[in-house]
Amino acid sequence: MGVRDGDREDLELHRRLTTGDRGAFDELYRRYAKAAYGLAYRLTGQQILAQDVVHDAYMALWRAPEAYDPARGAFRTFFLSLVHHRAVDTVRREERLRKRQERASNLEPVADEDVAEGVVDEAWVAIRRREVRQALTTLPPEQRQVLEMAYFDGKTQATIADELQIPIGTVKTRTLAAMRKLRRVLDEEDGV
């Protein structure tokens, strides 16, 4: 099954979800929980926080499925963005509470990469995953660095500029260049 077939199935699952169909909820959990949890764990660095992020995202989906508007794009775009936003918010809330540093000394071990890779994706998610990873390798290192600091570390552009000791304008320029390049490469994969 290709990426677009997966997107079409998601649309039907979402339609069923709006009627309160729990089977559709379970199927969307089966499809996206692993990707969502992997992302949330990478951002938060703690299993309990990652679990809460995924829990909250699924509950938000259940309570307000109409929040996703199919006219605005694929369901996975909506849902994984929702998970990312909640994970970033969680990271920043933790920082605001000044507890991250305390907890850093008690960080749970990062999941073993082999174990993580052993988790099986939906076939079409696996296809997209390979495409995204391949696309990321085409970025110049300095562009990939700012992109990853923003997306996976949840850092603001101002913080990134401080940490890399470069002007914030450079952070913006590199970020935009990275986004454009990735979009171009993935569009080619999609045959756009």
Partner 1 sequence: MIEDHEQIEELLAGYVLRSLSGDDAAEADRLLSDHVPACGRCRDTLADFQALSADLALDTPPLAPPDTLLPRLHRELEPVPRRRRTGQLAAVAASVALVAGLAGTSLTQFVRAGDRQARADDMAAALDLARQPEADLVPVGPATEISVPGYEEFYLYGTGVQAPPPGSVYRVWLVSSTGTTYGGELPCEDGVVFLVVPFDPSAFTDLLVTVEQAGSTPSAPGEVVWSAAA
Pick from 1, 104, 119, 123 the residue near partner 1 by CB under 8 A: 119
Question: CB-based burial of residue 140 (10 Å sphere; 0-12 exposed, 13-18 middle, 19+ buried)?
Answer: exposed
125 binding partner 1? (CB under 8 A): yes
109 binding partner 1? (CB under 8 A): no
The radius of gyration of the chain from alpha carbons, rounded to an integer in Å, stands at 18
- Within residues 20-39, the interface with partner 1 by CB under 8 A covers 22, 25-26, 29, 33-39
Instruction: Give whichever of 133 and 141 is closer to partner 1, judged by the CB atom.
Output: 133
C-beta separation of 74 from 80 below 8 A: no
161 binding partner 1? (CB under 8 A): no
Smallest gap from residue 161 Cβ to partner 1 (A) = 11
Q: Largest Cα–Cα distance of the chain, in whole Å? A: 52
Length of the chain: 192
Stretch that binds partner 1, among 9-17, 101-109, 131-139 (CB under 8 A): 131-139
Smallest gap from residue 79 Cβ to partner 1 (A) = 8
83 Cβ contact partners less than 8 Å away, ≥ 6 residues apart: 36, 39, 40, 53, 54, 57
Q: Structure tokens of 111?
A: 């999941």
How many chain residues bind partner 1 (CB under 8 A)? 78
